Amino acid sequence: MILIQKSVSKIKKNESFVCLAPSEKHALAFLMTLPDDFALETQKSHLMSAKQKLNPLFFAPFVSSVLRVEPDWIDENGHLNMAYYNVLFERAIDQAFELLGLNMSYYTQSGGTIFIGEAHLRYRREVHLETPVRITVQLVDYDAKRIHLYLEMRHSTEGWLAATSELMALHIDKTERKVAPFPSDILDAIAVMQSAHSALPRPEGLGRAMGVPGKGREGKVGLH
């Protein structure tokens, strides 16, 4: 599911809403109508100035701008190398976290930063050179020091699922190099985002364990 808005152009600067699509088919249809820079130009526009309290509009889930595969990321198999899926996921997280106030200014001036403590990436379909993708970011849960996220990478016009990523983001005190609580204003923004995302269904495969299938253990190749 993803937020549906009848007309992106009618979103008002101080409007806050969550409207869920009745099906994935409708969600993807909406996703494909968004302009390439939607996340940057529309979602970021709902932030107030840095001196005021954050008042962002949170889409459910967050939708990144269109991201593209670069030539240097293609490996000997002719597709996106496994490492660069994480680069694309990280760029989407950066866009989403900016709405929370977790941006470069925060990282350079506050003494706090974000580390990833754990990640689980699933590759669902090959991605090739210059393939345009969008990434959705769903806030699954959080506490005073951690954010549990689920992300999906999809072709930006065809809608098929390329990969998913589940991860745990940790707030770090850069001086102590230890996990530390978020500042209160950041935590308030996280709470608003989680409230907006709480109506989303639990993602399929969340918390999924990795293991060898029962077949193919006697020297035979078993692809599933």
Distance CA 9, CA 5 (A): 9
Closest CA to 192 of 100, 101, 96: 100
Pull the structure tokens for residue 6.
């009848």
pLDDT of residue 158: 95
Helices (H), 99-218: 104-109, 184-197
Cβ pair 138, 151 in contact under 8 A: yes
pLDDT of residue 59: 84
pLDDT of residue 22: 36
Distance CA 224, CA 212 (A): 10
Fold exhibited by the domain 16-197:
Thiol Ester Dehydrase; Chain A (3.10.129)
Cβ pair 21, 30 in contact under 8 A: yes
pLDDT of residue 111: 94
pLDDT of residue 12: 35
Distance CA 48, CA 42 (A): 13
Mean pLDDT, the chain cut into blocks of 10 residues (224 residues total)? 35 37 47 59 46 62 94 96 97 95 94 96 95 96 98 96 97 97 95 93 91 68 45
Cβ pair 146, 171 in contact under 8 A: yes
Beta strands in 17-78 (DSSP E): 62-63, 67-68
pLDDT of residue 41: 52
pLDDT of residue 220: 56
